[in-house]
Structures are given as structure tokens and as C-alpha cells.
Amino acid sequence: MATLATNLRKNDTASAEPRRAAVAQSNPYLLRPLPNEDIFFHRKRVDNSRLVREADPRSKTECWSTIGAVCALAAVLITSVAPSVAGITAGYQIQALKQERQRLLDERRSLEVDEAKLLAPERLEQLAKDQRMVSPKNDQVVHLQINASEGTVAFNVNSKKDK
Amino acid sequence: MESPARTQAVTRTTFLAGGAALWATAIFGKLAYLQIFKHKHYAELARDQQVQIVEVPGPRGSIFDRNGQALAMSVPVDSVFVNPSRLGSLDVAADILAPVLKLDRDQLFDRLTSARKDPKRRGFLWIKRKITPEEATNLRSLRLPWIEFQNESQRHYPKTFIAAHVIGSVNHEEKGNSGIELGLDAELRGAAGAAHVLTDVAKRGIESRLSDEPKVGTNLVLTIDERIQFAAERDLKEAVDKTRARTGTVVVMNPHTGEILAMASYPTFDPNTSPKKGEPPSARLNLAVAAPFEPGSVFKVVTLATALETTRLRPDSILPCGTMKMFNRVIHEAKHAYGPLSMADVLARSSNVGAIQIGMTVGKEKLHEYVRKFGFGQKTGTGLPAESGGMLRRLDRWQPGSICSVPMGHEISTTALQLAQACSVIANGGLMIKPRLVLKRQKPGQRMEEVKAERPVRIIKPETAFTMRSMMEGVVLLPYGTGRRARLDGYSSAGKTGSAQIYDYAARRYTASYNASFMGFAPVTNPAIVVVVTLNGTHGTAGFGGPAAAPVFRTVAMEALRVLDVPKDIPDQEPATDEPKADENDLAIADLSDPPPLEEFADPPMIGPAPPPKAEVATGPRVPNFKGMTMRAVVEEAGAMGLPVSLDGRGVARMQVPAPGAVLPPGERVRVQFAR
């Protein structure tokens, strides 16, 4: 590609080479110059303030038409894609909830096993012994006689249900 | 004529268009190839990447006791596996896995090394199965892709030893290998299903579809009450240790419904663990259903019930219970001769000669028929595996001496459960009811349903059962009864002791160790429970049914009646201690026959059966009904009639022998038992 620098370089190459060689000979430890480092560019100031863009209603209409068309297309696209996106999002949520449900069910089973272990008669008896509790003597055990005519007591109601 | 430049332009354009067409054709061709011809292949590849097959657990059914306490439950757990061929460094893998999973590092390394070399493993090695939740959490936190997890299920028995023999256990694949777990394995077993889960690139689930419905096992509610079961196991262990017996069983049953409330065997085991080295084989055997034994004197209940049903013998019928000569042998009591005894006293004193006399009066045909009716020689059908039906010879295989052996419980073998079933017939008024273990079942997605009991069948008349109840109460209540130690505080009880010598098949002789047993029920008027206790391998007189097994009946029955909230039917009292020492020797004569009692006989000895002795018919005054009277009133009435009476206990008369209306034989006394 033809650039200013490379074009200029063509002319400068001949003059630069002997200079480089001379520098190299005078001091071999100096870095060699970079290519085109001796070329300088000058900025030219251009004032376009006097230029005025001519109003073009037709192109403006076309522009708005295009914007409108794109928006309409986007709306159609979003409307058509939205249900499936919502479906996928809901799918994520459903899956997460399913996993959570399964995790909770598993946890419940584990807790039920723990509860059963804690309620084991052997353990309860040991705890009672540790608390220095004793089994009631036979004459200390009184079986309540259920009689509906004597009014209702919570205990009696439960016992009646059991029977 | 066109200019050359235009021609060249047209040519170039044509070539360009052709090239573009070719390019487009190639593109569309490739697209068609991929999308149409290779559609299936690439769709499968995509599905493999996007769709994961996830196992949906189908847990094994849970087992509960009658009050809803969990006895067996399955909990999902993880198992860890790796593909050894994909592991970079086995050293590093072993270093990582061993401490987390609490494994021996060197052993794990050896396993990994051998698994990598072994082509049969096909890149699969279980590192540890059924790890704890903590181990799983720790391992997952490492986020190492080569550590893979498999969902499995772990069977838990939270009550450890309680009802271990009834529930049984499962193997590592959760298949039942004993107890209810094996007997009802088809119902309990679950099967995992599968679901196809569509995942994104991060393997998050988007949607899922059940491809294989999981099968959840049926939940079972047993008739077992864990509180009674615990008491039975605790008291049985104490008794076995105390009497230095080898094994023991306790069965507690509701005689009206057939529901087994407790079934204990000792030694026992923890179903959460696999069999250990040195563990006795009997530890995992449900002895109550799988280990038949010669019942001995407890079987006299069946003999006497048959006599009441089929002969004119009554509780007050007097039988000569001295020595007798049969088949060129002199048959006598285990300890000493009693002389004439009433039928009730034959049971109370556990007279062998009396039982033989009664058996001979009944006759072998009737005896065999009723023994079958009482359920002996056939399985009870509880659903427990390895159940034995016991042993009852066919009638044509009976040897002449069998009519002497069977009435007192020899030449026949029974299980503890069969004895409970037979005792229930007496307790419930003559109905044969099948024992059962499953109270309710809940199929997946359905409500809990009651399991209907089989319709009971009447096998003896109600009056026969009531008379037997009264006679069995005498065994416990009378001062000379062999089952005095089975008296309960606050409850009336009835039962029968048994002591049978154990036959040594190797030495072909009876040994000096015994099967001590007790079967009974309480309360007598409306029995709520039947309890059978057996202790196998006891020694000495302390190992007889009375001293060894009856106390277990007492403690278990007391606990069960309290748990079941059964109202007391007699005043609370401490067991009498000042009574004269009764003869508790109820040992059944075992060596009536030379051949082993439970082996089949090729050539039965040609000895004809002796003519059955006729029951003596006594004459004398008729005994009035003393029941409900005070001691003073009894003495006055007996004195007025000139009847000698023997009084025992305090309170009001509750039982008398002979029965009201019976003839009092000369030289005999009317024995009246009082209680408050």
C-alpha cells in the first residue's frame, strides 16, 4: 500500500543510507536509527465551518422508515422469541425446584431415621436410668376407666379413639 | 462485433459467477449433507452433549411398628467411583481420596493400579460405596471432574436390635436376605427410574422428562409393638444369661386377632451390619419360627383339650397317676408318683402318667386329628422365610409307644409360634386364628390399607376352651402348680410349664439339658395376650419351665398388659413368698422309645397297643360352688356338708378344685383358692 511515509522513503533512502553508515562507523555501539524516523509530518488546518448540510426531507423519511421497520422487526422477533425464552427460564426454575424438592425429601427421610434412632426404647431407657428414674410399681399404675357420662377429658378421648 | 475488452469482461464475469455458483453449491451441498443425510448422527451427538440421563430414585418401602415407629427405612446416599484409565497420576488420586473417604492410602493405590491394568474392569472402579453425607460434601467441594458419584440407597434400621429377626436385613443391593425383608421382598423392593434432562453448557437442567417411571416399594406397618418387643428382648436376654441357656424365644400374640405383638429370639444381631466373623449362626435365625423343638409338658394342654372335646373326662375326673406298665416298660413320673389325681391336677402338677392315661383314653386317631387341628405339623403362614412347620408324623407312622410320647409333648416338634397359635385357641374361646405380622400396607400413591385377617375357624367348643382356661389358671394359681412363678400383680393369668430333655442326634440319646418353656395368657376372663417363652439348653432343676421360663412370662406379660392399657382384674399384690415349696418338676419322660423320637422308623416294633385304662368313676358328696364366697362362708358351708377343705390365699374364693357339682372322691379335699 502506498503511504506518504513509504513514498517519501523512496526519496530518502539514498540520502539516509550513507548517513547511517557514517554513524555506524563513527560509533558502533549506537543504536541504528528506526526507518523513516527522520520524516516529519505537518498538520494542515482546514476550516469547514462555512459548509452547511442541505435539508433532505426524503432521506429523513427514509431514515425514520428504516428505524420504524427495524423496530417493528425487532418487536416481531422479540414477540416470537419471548415465549420460548420464558419457557427456558421457567424450565431452569422448574428443574431447580425439582432438585430442591428431591433434596428436601431425602433430607426428610434422613431426619426421620434420626428421629427413630433418638426414640429407640433402648436409648430412652438408658436416659431414664441416667436421670435416676424408676419403673412404676404395679400398684402405682392406675388404668383410667373411661366413662362418657362423667364428662370428657382429653386423655379419655384419646384413649377411647385408640380403642 | 463486441470489443475485446467487453468479451474479456463477460468471460471474467461468467467465470466469477460460475465460481460463485460452485462455491454456493458446495456450501449448500455440505449443508444438505450435514443437515439431511447426517442429521441423525449429529442429532445424536448433540443429544449426548445436551441430554443427561438422571436416575430417579425408587426407594425400598419402609417398615413401621403398629404405632408408626420406623423400624426400617431407606435413605439415598452417594457412592464414589473413578475411571482408573483416565487418571493422570494414581499416586495423586490415592493421596486425595484416601483421607477424605477414610481409606487406607496404600491399599487404595494398589486397587487403582490393579484396576488400571485389568482390562475386564473397563475403566470402572468403586472407590467407596454408600459414603456418609459429610464425606460426599467434602468430596464434592474438591470439584475434581474425575471423581464421579452414583446415587444409591442405604437401608437403615434405626432401632438396631429391636425385632431384628422379624424385620431381617438386606444385602448391599438392597435385596432382602432374611425376615420380612426377604419374605415380602417383592412388595418392599423399589426400582429406580430414569429421567432425560436437557442441560445447558454449564450442565444446568432446563427441562426433564421421565423416561422410566420409578417403582417405589410398598410401606408396611407390622403388628409388632416396639415397646413390648423391647421388653421381651430385654427380659429374654436376662433369662438366657441367668439360666445359661443357649438360645431363647418369646412370642407375644393377641389371641383374638392373631396379631403378633412381639417375637424375640436370642442371640440377636444388628441388621445394620453384615455378619461378623465368629458370630453364631443362630444369631440371624428367627428361632421362634425356624427352630422346632420337642415341646414337652406344655403340649399336655392340647392333649387335655382333646380329651375334654372327645371323651367324657372332665377336670374332676380322677386318674390313677402311679406307675404304669406299657410295652414291657414301667412308666413313672419324672420324680415321684402322685397317686390318684384329678384331670385338673394332672395339668397343675404336670403328671406324665396322667397325661399318658388321658392320651390313651383319647386314642391316637383323635389325638392326631386334634393335634393337626391345633395347627401342629404345618406352617402358620406369617410370611416369614425359613419357617418350619414342625414335625408331626403321619398316623400310619406312629409307633406303638407314640400314644405315650405325644400326649406329653415328645415325638413331635413345634415352633414357639405354633405354641402361641395353639394357646390362642384356648384363650379366645376355641377359634383357630392364624398369626399375622402385617397390620397395614401402603402401596405407592395410595392410602394406608388395613390387611384383613383370615376368618377364624372353630376347632373346639367354647366350653372346652373355658374349662381349659380354668385348668390352666390352676397351674399358676394353685400352691402346688408348676407355674406359680407366672402369677401377675393385678392380673389373673393362666398357663402351662414345659421341660423337655434335648435329644442328641449324634450320640442317639437324650441329654441332661432341657428345653424349658411356658405358654400362657392373661387376664384369664378376657385374655388380651398370649405369651410363649422357650429357653433352649438349660441345665438342672433351675432350668425347668417353672423356674426358668415362667418368670420371663411374668415380666413380659406385665409390661405388655401395661403398654396395652389392659384394666387390672384382680387386686395388686406381691407374689406369695411364704407358700410351701412346690414341686416344679414338670419334666416330660423323654426316653419312652429307643429310636430317636423325630426320626422315621423303617420297621416299627411289633408291640401292640395296650388297652386304654378306663378313667375311674368316683363316688361321694357333690361339691358346692364356693366362688365369690368369703373364707368364713366357705368354711361354714363346707363344715355343714362335712366336706374337708383346703384354703389358700386371702379375699374371696376365686377357684376351686374339684369344680362345682363334681363328686369329691373319698380321701380328697376341696381346694379353694382365694384372692382379693
The ranges assigned to domains in chain B are: 6-52, 54-220, 226-268+286-440+456-594, 617-676
pLDDT at B333 (0 to 100): 74
Asked if A94 reaches chain B (Cβ–Cβ under 8 Å), the answer is yes
CATH 3.40.710.10 is right for the domain spanning B226-268+286-440+456-594: yes
Q: In the predicted model, what is the mean pLDDT of chain B?
A: 86
Chain A interface disruption, residue of B565, B573, B574, most A CBs within 10 A: B565
Tell me if the pTM is above 0.95: no
Residue among B75, B160, B206 whose CB faces A110 most closely: B75
State the nearest Cα–Cα gap between A88 and chain B, in angstroms: 6
Q: Do the Cβ atoms of B205 and A96 come within 8 Å? A: yes
pLDDT at B594 (0 to 100): 39
Stronger pLDDT, A11 or B436, i.e. the higher one: B436
Max Cα–Cα distance, chain B, nearest Å = 166
Each residue's pLDDT tens digit, B64-110: 999 999 999 999 888 999 988 888 888 899 999 999 999 999 999 99
pLDDT at B570 (0 to 100): 86
User: Based on C-alpha coordinates, what's the Rg of chain B?
Assistant: 37
pLDDT at A37 (0 to 100): 79
Asked if A139 reaches chain B (Cβ–Cβ under 8 Å), the answer is yes
pLDDT at B399 (0 to 100): 87
Stronger pLDDT, B530 or B525, i.e. the higher one: B530
pLDDT at B657 (0 to 100): 75
CB B549 within 8 A of CB B533: yes
Q: 3-state class of B209 per DSSP?
A: strand
Question: d(Cα B78, Cα B150) in Å, to the nearest integer?
Answer: 6
Q: What does the pLDDT average to over B422-439?
A: 95
* Stretch (H or E) spanning A67: helix A57-118
DSSP string, B352-381: HHHHHHHHHHH-HHHHHHHHHHTTTTS---
Each residue's pLDDT tens digit, B588-610: 655 554 333 443 332 333 333 33
Chain B interface disruption, residue of A111, A138, A139, A161, most B CBs within 10 A: A138
Q: Do the Cβ atoms of B567 and A145 come within 8 Å? A: yes
State the nearest Cα–Cα gap between B140 and chain A, in angstroms: 16
Whether residue B426 has pLDDT greater than 80: yes
Q: Which residue has the cell 442405604?
A: B154
Asked if A66 reaches chain B (Cβ–Cβ under 8 Å), the answer is no
pLDDT band at B35, cuts 50/70/90? very high
Q: Do the Cβ atoms of B226 and A121 come within 8 Å? A: yes
Q: What does the pLDDT average to over B348-363?
A: 91
Each residue's pLDDT tens digit, B613-626: 444 444 567 788 88
Q: Do the Cβ atoms of B73 and A109 come within 8 Å? A: yes
Chain B interface disruption, residue of A99, A118, A141, most B CBs within 10 A: A141
* CATH architecture under which domain B617-676 falls: 2-Layer Sandwich (3.30)
Residue among B495, B580, B587 at smallest CA distance from B539:
B587
Task: Quickly list H helices, B257-408.
Answer: 287-290, 300-310, 343-348, 352-362, 364-373, 402-405
Whether residue B260 has pLDDT greater than 90: yes
* Stretch (H or E) spanning B314: none
pLDDT band at B1, cuts 50/70/90? low
Whether residue B57 has pLDDT greater than 50: yes
Of these ranges, A4-18, B186-200, B622-636, the one predicted with the greatest mean pLDDT is: B186-200
Enumerate the residues of chain A whose CB falls inside 8 A of the CB of residue B208: 95, 98
pLDDT at B588 (0 to 100): 64
Q: Do the Cβ atoms of A139 and B158 come within 8 Å? A: no
Specify burial of residue A117 (Cβ count, 10 A radius: 0-12, 13-18, 19+): middle
Stronger pLDDT, B602 or B186, i.e. the higher one: B186
Residue among B75, B159, B161 whose CB faces A109 most closely: B75
Chain A interface disruption, residue of B71, B156, B555, B563, most A CBs within 10 A: B156
Q: Do the Cβ atoms of B227 and A121 come within 8 Å? A: yes
Chain A interface disruption, residue of B51, B54, B65, B75, most A CBs within 10 A: B75
Residue among A91, A113, A145 whose CB faces B70 most closely: A113
Q: What does the pLDDT average to over B239-262?
A: 95
Q: Do the Cβ atoms of B198 and A91 come within 8 Å? A: yes
Q: Do the Cβ atoms of A122 and B162 come within 8 Å? A: yes
Q: 3-state class of B553 per DSSP?
A: helix
pLDDT at B611 (0 to 100): 36
Q: Which homologous superfamily is B54-220 in?
A: Penicillin-binding protein 2a (Domain 2) (3.90.1310.10)
Return the DSSP state at B628.
T
State the nearest Cα–Cα gap between B506 and chain A, in angstroms: 40
pLDDT at B217 (0 to 100): 92
pLDDT at A147 (0 to 100): 57
State the nearest Cα–Cα gap between B615 and chain A, in angstroms: 44
Enumerate the residues of chain A whose CB falls inside 8 A of the CB of residue B204: 92, 95
How many Cβ pairs within 8 Å bridge chains A and B?
78
Q: Spell out a b/e string for A67-83, using b for 16 or more CB atoms within 10 Å of the CB, else e.
A: eeeeeeeeeeeeeeeee
CB B287 within 8 A of CB B416: yes
Per-residue pLDDT 10s for chain A (163 aa) are 445 555 555 555 555 566 667 766 777 787 777 888 778 888 888 888 888 888 899 999 999 999 999 999 999 999 999 999 999 899 999 989 988 998 899 899 999 999 999 999 999 999 999 999 988 887 788 877 655 555 444 444 444 444 4
